[in-house]
Amino acid sequence: MSSFIIRRLLVAIPTILVLIVISYVLMFAAPGGPFNSERPLPPQVLANIEARYGLDRPYLVQMADYVWNVVAHFDFGPSFQYRDQTVNSIIRQGFPVTLTYGLWAFAVSVVIGVGLGVVAAVRHNSWIDYVAVGVSVGAQVLPNFVIAPILVLVFTLWLGWLPGGGWNGGAWQNVIMPVIALAASYTASIARIMRSSMLEVLNSAFIRTARAKGLPMRRIILRHALKPALLPLLSYLGPAFVAMITGSFVVDMYFSTGGIGQFFVNSALNRDYPVIMGITILMGALTILFSLVVDVLYAWIDPKIRY
Amino acid sequence: MAMVPRAAVQELEAALAAGQAVRGRSLWADARRRFMANRAALVSLAVLVLIALFAFFGGWIAVWDIETTDWSALGTGAAVNGRPSLATGHYFGTDQDGRDLFARTVQGTRISLMVGIVGSLVAVVVGTLYGAVSGFVGGRTDQVLMRIVDVMMSIPFMFVLILLLVVFGRSIIMIFVGVGLISWLEMARIARGQALSIKNMEYVEAAVAIGVRPMTIILRHIVPNLAGIVTVYATLLIPNMIIIESFISFLGLGVQDPQTSLGALISRGAAQMQYGTLWMLLFPLGFLIVMLFTFFYVGDGLRDALDPKDR
């Protein structure tokens, strides 16, 4: 087990470092500095600003310094665009929002996905099965940037039930649509995986035995079938969990939640490199670390996995 | 097993008695027959052909080009003159800048299709060869090649793509590069898995025994046997690539105005929906949705027809 964890760490740590270096090199390859504007600054002023941000030092020194600050102090430096903010304060501001609707989306997609999958499997080839399969194909094929405008069109414009954007401190009216837009495709995948694994379990011998004993169907499903059927789902849930808590650019942008994705896209449009890099590295590291944790958990839960 | 119809057997008997050769059915003929029997896939394929015709030849029937502003369709005129109508030549109406939405939808659809096709071509060529070489050569080469794929796959791709676009400027070429960078990874894995099992077949052993060079074996024996699964996966990859491009364009990070793409059109249309000009949203949205569904069903049909596992 421990050798498995070590082996995974040996891949994870270089990956994070590669990510940092790629982002940094790309940033330097960019034509034009961050302070070039329509009206050129006087050279002395520009020199002062560059000294303030440490941009006048040699290339490799800057890079080593950046990597050291990130790794040792978890400090991503100042933002270029928001002059009075650091990248860290922007992340502190945006990440809780993203995390909130991401966690809700995860909970919603697991509950509805598993429920839908189980019902579709138990009532195999009934109308409810067909509806479940149809809905999940739709939700899987359609990306969130298609679902989000449709949601706003229906619930804000036609029905007038929900506000079309904003965060409002996380009021439930504002959270609902981001959660649906984010959760839809994951719910669909979970339902599909759950349905097929449940069908397989329901056809196995121990379920037949349980039925032969005369146990009620509800008890068979909840006590006997659910647990083994959940196992194939686990390996999907890990990456899905990471993807959901890091949120979605589209959801953040479209619903103006003030989440991390909105900062990222705005910074990308304004070439605010430190913010772009900080968020890229943070999200990348989270993704890589969480998938490590999930792999380890999975190996621990399912003894059939060899590590 | 279904009963073999008696009439067919008698027909075969007669044919054999008359000394006629019975035509064998190749893998591909078999697959074609199965695909033709799948109605959803067939209809989807027809719709896709229509969309492709629209994307590449729609410009011929457009009255306006993609960037000319129709001044009568601006401001308060938008809801009147900007409406979809045959008389004004704006078949799909105009966008909020008075530009013809029909011409713009044609162009957006074309870019989406091209991104999808380029992405899956890269996957087919690079991914298949990479995977086939990795699987066939095996050993340490395989380890190294696959570890590279692992590392590339664990990098959060969307962030890097956006970084690329910001740094090197937003252009369609950059999107092709970005899509090309990612699209072959999964294909390489799939091709490697298949190559591993093909490698142990007798005909490969025979080829090795008579001294055929490794690269020739890969190209002559391994790659053709990957064709089925590669076709299926390449088709299913196209909608993913289309989604990536539209996603980037939706965020305003894709191709530059006046060039456009479906994602950009959807984003701009969605921003206007409260002004009653819904056509700005619904036309591009409709095209994207229909394209995604039809690719999905065609890919699904191909999988049923070609995937050896389901037989």
The alpha carbon of A131 is separated from its chain's Cα centroid by a whole number of angstroms, namely 28
User: CA–CA separation, B45 vs B50, rounded Å?
Assistant: 9
Question: Could you give the 3-state DSSP secondary structure of residue B94?
Answer: strand
The interface predicted TM-score of the complex, written ipTM, equals 0.75
Partners of residue B239 in chain A, C-beta under 8 Å? 141
Q: State the nearest Cα–Cα gap between B187 and chain A, in angstroms.
A: 19
| Nearest CB neighbour to B154, from listed A26, A29, A291 | A291
Q: State the nearest Cα–Cα gap between A63 and chain B, in angstroms.
A: 17
| Nearest CB neighbour to B293, from listed A141, A153, A277 | A141
Which residue in B has a C-alpha nearest to residue A142's C-alpha? B289
Q: What is the mean pLDDT of residues A91-97?
A: 86
Partners of residue A146 in chain B, C-beta under 8 Å? 266, 285, 288-289
User: CA–CA separation, B195 vs A264, rounded Å?
Assistant: 41
Between A3-12, A197-206, A216-225, A228-237, the lowest mean confidence (pLDDT) is in A3-12
Query: A258 phi and psi, to 5 degrees?
Result: 80, 15
Partners of residue A265 in chain B, C-beta under 8 Å? 162, 251-253
Whether residue A305 has pLDDT greater than 90: no
| Nearest CB neighbour to B159, from listed A29, A148, A280 | A280
Considering only CA atoms, give the Rg of chain A: 24
Contact yes or no for B151 and A11 at CB 8 A = yes
Mutate to test the interface with B, among A28, A135, A140, A146 (most CBs of B within 10 A): A146
Model pLDDT, residue B311: 42
| DSSP states of B275-288 | GT-THHHHHHHHHH
In 10 A of CB A35, how many CB atoms? 14
Band (A52; pLDDT cuts 50, 70, 90): confident
Instruction: Identify whether the C-beta of residue A285 lies closer than 8 Å to the C-beta of residue A16.
Output: yes
Question: Could you give the 3-state DSSP secondary structure of residue A81?
Answer: coil
Band (A261; pLDDT cuts 50, 70, 90): confident
Which residue in A has a C-alpha nearest to residue B300's C-alpha? A137
User: CA–CA separation, B64 vs B191, rounded Å?
Assistant: 46
pLDDT in tens, chain B (311 residues): 455 677 777 877 777 777 666 666 677 788 888 888 888 888 999 999 999 998 888 778 777 777 777 777 676 666 666 677 777 777 787 777 778 888 888 888 998 898 888 888 888 899 999 999 998 888 888 888 888 887 777 777 777 788 788 777 778 888 888 888 888 888 898 889 888 888 888 888 899 899 999 889 888 888 888 888 888 888 888 888 888 888 888 888 888 777 888 888 888 888 877 777 778 888 888 899 899 889 988 888 888 887 655 44
pLDDT tens digit string along A154-183?
A: 888 788 777 777 777 767 778 888 898 889
Band (A37; pLDDT cuts 50, 70, 90): low
Model pLDDT, residue B50: 93
Partners of residue A280 in chain B, C-beta under 8 Å? 156, 159-160, 163
Report which residue type is found at A72.
A
Band (A30; pLDDT cuts 50, 70, 90): low
Structure tokens at A82: 């928001």
The position carrying tokens 């999200």 is A283
| Cβ density class A49-85: b for 16+ within 10 Å, e for less | beeeeeeeeeeeebbeebeeebeeeeebbbbbbbeee
User: CA–CA separation, B258 vs A297, rounded Å?
Assistant: 50
Contact yes or no for A269 and B168 at CB 8 A = no
Structure tokens at B30: 């078999």
Partners of residue B235 in chain A, C-beta under 8 Å? none
The three-point CA angle B28-B32-B36 to 5° equals: 175
Partners of residue B161 in chain A, C-beta under 8 Å? none
Residue pairs spanning A and B at CB distance below 8 A = 106
The β-bridge partners of B99 are B69
Instruction: Identify whether the C-beta of residue B263 lies closer than 8 Å to the C-beta of residue B141.
Output: no
Scanning A109-148 for CB atoms below 8 A from B yields 137, 141-143, 145-146, 148
Mutate to test the interface with A, among B150, B152, B163, B274 (most CBs of A within 10 A): B163
Average per-residue pLDDT for chain A: 81
Mutate to test the interface with A, among B115, B155, B244 (most CBs of A within 10 A): B155
Nearest partner of A274 among A263, A284, A286, judged by Cα: A263
User: CA–CA separation, A265 vs A80, rounded Å?
Assistant: 14
**Which residues of B make CB contacts under 8 Å with A?**
147, 150-151, 154-156, 158-160, 162-168, 239, 243, 246-247, 250-253, 263, 266-267, 269-270, 273-274, 278, 281, 285, 288-289, 292-293, 296
Contact yes or no for B160 and A280 at CB 8 A = yes
Instruction: Identify whether the C-beta of residue A154 lies closer than 8 Å to the C-beta of residue A83.
Output: no
| Cβ density class B146-184: b for 16+ within 10 Å, e for less | beebebbebbbbbbbbbbbbbbbebebebbbbbbbbbbb
Q: Is the peptide bond before B258 cis (omega within 30 degrees of 0)?
A: yes
Alpha helices (H) along chain A: 2-29, 43-52, 59-68, 87-122, 127-141, 144-151, 172-202, 205-212, 217-219, 226-245, 249-254, 260-270, 273-301
| Nearest CB neighbour to A269, from listed B147, B167, B252 | B252
Please give the span between the terminal C-alpha atoms of chain B, in angstroms, as a whole number.
Answer: 13
Mutate to test the interface with A, among B149, B166, B266 (most CBs of A within 10 A): B166
Query: What one-character DSSP code corresponds to residue B2?
Result: P
A42 CB-side CA count, 13 A: 3
Please report, for residues A119, A162, A166, B281, the alpha-carbon distance to residue A252 in angstroms, rounded to integers and kept in the order given: 33, 16, 9, 20
Partners of residue B281 in chain A, C-beta under 8 Å? 149, 153
Scanning A239-258 for CB atoms below 8 A from B yields 249-250, 253-254
Partners of residue B303 in chain A, C-beta under 8 Å? none
